[in-house]
Amino acid sequence: MKGVKFFSATDLAVGDYLNRAEKIILNFNENKEHPFNDILELYNCTLYIENKVFFPEWSVEHREKLKEHCKIIKGFIARYFSNIDEMNIELLVKTLHWQYKEDFLKLFVQYQLKDRIDEKIFANMLTKNLFSITQVCQQPKLVEHYETLVKYFFLGRPSNAELLFDKYAVGSKINKKQIHFPKSLTKDEVNVLISNYINSRECNTKYLQLIINNHNTKEFSVTDEHRWKAKKRKESIEEELFKNSTGVSFEYNILFQKDAPKLVEYKLNRTQVKIIYDQTYLEQERGFETILNNFIWLFEFIDINGRINFVSNNNSTRTSFLDAIQLKSKRDYPINKAFKVNETLTDAAIVLYYSLLKKQNIRLENILEWFFKVYLKENFGVSNYVFIAPSEGSSYKEKCRDILPEIEYVLQQFKGYVDYGEINHEMLALSSSGIAFSQIPSLIKNKYIYKKDTLNPIFYYLFSDQTLLGYLENPEKDSATFYDLLAKHKVHIDEFKDYQRTELQYLIDNEYISINNGILKWSNPERVKILYELYHYDVISMYRLPDILQAEVNLMHQENLVRFESSLLTKSEQDMIDYYLNNSKFQNGPQLRNKYAHGRLGNAANSNKDINYKNYLLILKLLIAIVIKINEDFCLYEKIKK
């Protein structure tokens, strides 16, 4: 069956369905026989008109004609539902196509069938799986009217625990619908359901992970016992699943090689990324400033616009299929494939470089101490900056505990300098509160550029692979996005199909593209460059742009398309550091500061030197990124002053 179905006004299938809906509405004949599925299809046809989904070429008169026909159809549907009762409802629902079952339950409520269908009949249909408890729970009035019955069926199957997490824990889930539960559902009953789910054959490792990471609220919580049991169950399932699996491996190799032909060389194939650094250069160039610069220019901790490279950015690369189907909590830091790759590469770089420097009798910690005490004073006149590196002889567990408060104080000192023009340790000592990464200001006014929501339509048309504007039915030119199409090919207006013209007209009317002898061109290439950066990286550092692009940004600001903010770290950088160190914003991170500050390491971490060593180098990586950002702030400030 391929009947008309209304999903939303912006769904990709709108064009095809709207064509068919128009014909069905205009050809409707009340005197013809209409099977039950046709009744639900008619209902979906009227939804397009009710939601004002029209083709641009439809005249006002034609639209009004469709509205009048829909009124007649809705009256017919109401009369049809008035004839449904206990005698015929089950026979009708048995014939119903799956795509119309949710629509049927909406109309069940709308036309007051609950007053004619008792609990016994409703329970019989649930028992026979004519519709699911999930579909019922999407209708609050059904849950309220059949409360005892709904509660019985909800608690009767362990897998229904997933509905609790869908409602209270899961963030962005495709086609997520609002779920309602019986008000009489108790906390003890919920706890039993979660326990049964963990022990059941139906449990899903993605939901087990949600149990482990769940951030408890007044609305919904899990016990520590649930977390522990879910962790053990997940480990057991994964061990069994991957026991005999060969899989497809992909390797990331970071190598230091003596007398390498290039300072840094990338080698890629289908199963491996290999990055080779010239070890001879790294051993010879031992100046403290050069060593810190190596994290910028060789190990690429930041990009050309001064943004930290190992943050999670959902727009930085196209989302993979695995990223799209991944189940994520509302409070999960967005980890995708691109983030994991960058994390792996930068982690490996600091492990190797830290070890190489140590063999050269150079402590990276001493270089960081030099940066705050010597470099900032000599280059920018900043006195009294304090940073005390962990002692060389301490264990890595002790180093972790020692360096974390130093990082916080480094940031507090920077904030004090921005606020007052000097570092006043006596005043800082009187502060009893910590500092959030979002609270650290910049010396520079209007440092970062962020988009406003008014840009969302143009982002969609230029950069989304959902518009089909990059598709010309020409294999030599077909591209994922409209931006890719124009960036790589010479394109004539006649190559586009009629259904694409409306979106193209939007780009022309808003002066993003122009047509010269039939060829499409960017009307304002500078603005498109800015849009590209904002879409793919969420933020731009204003004063790292050339003057011509800065001028364009100021125009966009006047047009209310972008906004400025001033902070040391971008929002995505703040989130990334929060993810690694805290659990106040994200629940799926290592929570290193909390674990070392509150002694929540567990026996394994306390006795495992490797884990503490790995954590320490991760903390050093974050500190190096902060050092780079502080240096950049001072450098840009000096440049702007001049």
User: Does 604 score more than 60 pLDDT?
Assistant: no
Kind and range of the H or E run holding 450: strand 448-451
User: Does 245 score more than 70 pLDDT?
Assistant: no
224-242 and 205-213 helices cross at what angle (nearest 10)? 150
Q: How far apart are CA 237 and CA 200, in angstroms?
A: 12
pLDDT of residue 536: 94
Question: Residues 296-301: contacts with CB within 8 Å, 24+ apart?
Answer: 296/628, 298/263, 298/264, 299/346, 299/349, 299/350, 299/353, 300/346, 301/346, 301/621, 301/624, 301/625, 301/628
Q: What is the gyration radius of the CA atoms in the chain, in angstroms?
A: 30
Sign of the torsion angle spanned by Cα atoms 307, 309, 312, 313:
positive
**Residue 254 β-bridge partners:** 275
Q: How far apart are CA 146 and CA 149, in angstroms?
A: 5
What's this model's pTM, rounded to 2 decimal places?
A: 0.76
User: Does 297 score more than 70 pLDDT?
Assistant: yes
pLDDT of residue 60: 92
- Across the chain, mean pLDDT equals 90
pLDDT of residue 27: 93
CB contact at 8 A, 311 and 571: no
CB contact at 8 A, 556 and 530: yes
* Reported confidence tier of residue 84, pLDDT bands at 50, 70, 90: very high
Neighbouring CB atoms inside 10 A of 397's CB total: 20
* SS3 state of residue 245: coil
Lowest mean pLDDT among 218-222, 243-247, 316-320, 419-423: 316-320
Question: Residues 585-592: contacts with CB within 8 Å, 24+ apart?
Answer: 585/331, 586/331, 586/332, 586/333, 587/213, 587/214, 587/215, 587/329, 587/331, 587/332, 588/213, 588/329, 588/331, 588/332, 588/333, 588/335, 589/333, 590/615, 590/618, 592/400, 592/404, 592/618, 592/619
Hey, what are 350's tokens?
A: 């600091």
Q: How far apart are CA 518 and CA 520, in angstroms?
A: 7
Which residues, in sequence order, are CB contacts of 64 under 8 Å at separation 6+?
none
Question: Residues 84-91: contacts with CB within 8 Å, 24+ apart?
Answer: 84/111, 84/113, 84/116, 85/116, 85/117, 86/116, 86/117, 86/118, 86/121, 89/113, 89/117, 89/121, 89/125, 90/121, 90/124, 90/125, 90/128, 90/130
Pure H helices in 514-560: 525-537, 547-558
pLDDT of residue 597: 80
User: Does 1 score more than 80 pLDDT?
Assistant: no
User: Does 249 score more than 70 pLDDT?
Assistant: no
User: Does 173 score more than 60 pLDDT?
Assistant: no
User: Does 6 score more than 70 pLDDT?
Assistant: yes
CB contact at 8 A, 136 and 156: no
Phi first, then psi: give them for residue 459, nearest 5 degrees. -60, -45
Q: What is the pLDDT of residues 498-519, one digit of tens each?
A: 778 878 888 999 999 999 999 9
3-state helix, strand, coil in the chain (%, to 5): 55, 5, 35
Tell me what the mean pLDDT of segment 265-273 comes to. Answer: 84
CB contact at 8 A, 459 and 469: no
Q: Which position has the token pair 């119309």?
A: 100
Q: What type of residue is 35?
A: P
β-bridge pairing 272-278 and 251-257: parallel
Which residues, in sequence order, are CB contacts of 8 under 8 Å at separation 6+?
none
Q: What is the pLDDT of residues 183-232, one digit of tens each?
A: 999 999 999 999 999 999 889 988 998 898 888 888 899 999 999 999 99
Tell me what the mean pLDDT of segment 49-53 comes to. Answer: 90
pLDDT of residue 318: 46
Q: How far apart are CA 92 and CA 102, in angstroms?
A: 14
Q: What is the DSSP letter of 160?
A: G
Lowest mean pLDDT among 120-124, 461-465, 582-586: 582-586
- Pick the closest to residue 277 from 293, 302, 258, 290 (CA basis): 258
- Pick the closest to residue 5 from 35, 40, 49 (CA basis): 40
pLDDT of residue 268: 83
β-bridge pairing 539-541 and 448-451: antiparallel
Tell me what the mean pLDDT of segment 317-334 comes to. Answer: 62
Q: How far apart are CA 258 and CA 276, in angstroms?
A: 10
- Pick the closest to residue 133 from 108, 159, 114 (CA basis): 159
Which residues, in sequence order, are CB contacts of 308 under 8 Å at separation 6+?
301, 302, 569, 570, 572, 573, 576, 625, 628, 629
pLDDT of residue 321: 43
Neighbouring CB atoms inside 10 A of 183's CB total: 9
Which residues, in sequence order, are CB contacts of 487 under 8 Å at separation 6+?
none
Tell me what the mean pLDDT of segment 294-306 comes to. Answer: 95
CB contact at 8 A, 469 and 461: yes
* Reported confidence tier of residue 103, pLDDT bands at 50, 70, 90: very high
Tell me what the mean pLDDT of segment 430-444 comes to. Answer: 89
Tell me what the mean pLDDT of segment 63-89 comes to. Answer: 95
Alpha carbon separation from 17 to 11, 27, 265, 415 (Å, rounded): 10, 15, 52, 57
* SS3 state of residue 436: coil
What is the arrangement of strands in the sheet containing 251-257, beginning at the earlier edge strand? 251-257, 272-278, 264-269
- Pick the closest to residue 507 from 534, 485, 476 (CA basis): 485
Q: What type of residue is 419?
A: D
Q: Which position has the token pair 């079952």?
A: 101
Percent of the chain clearing pLDDT 90 (strictly above): 73
- Pick the closest to residue 552 from 532, 572, 537 (CA basis): 532
pLDDT of residue 317: 46
Q: What is the DSSP letter of 203?
A: -
**Residue 519 β-bridge partners:** 492, 516
* Reported confidence tier of residue 267, pLDDT bands at 50, 70, 90: confident
Q: What is the pLDDT of residues 349-369, one digit of tens each?
A: 999 999 999 999 999 999 999
Percent of the chain clearing pLDDT 70 (strictly above): 93
CA 614 to chain centre: 27
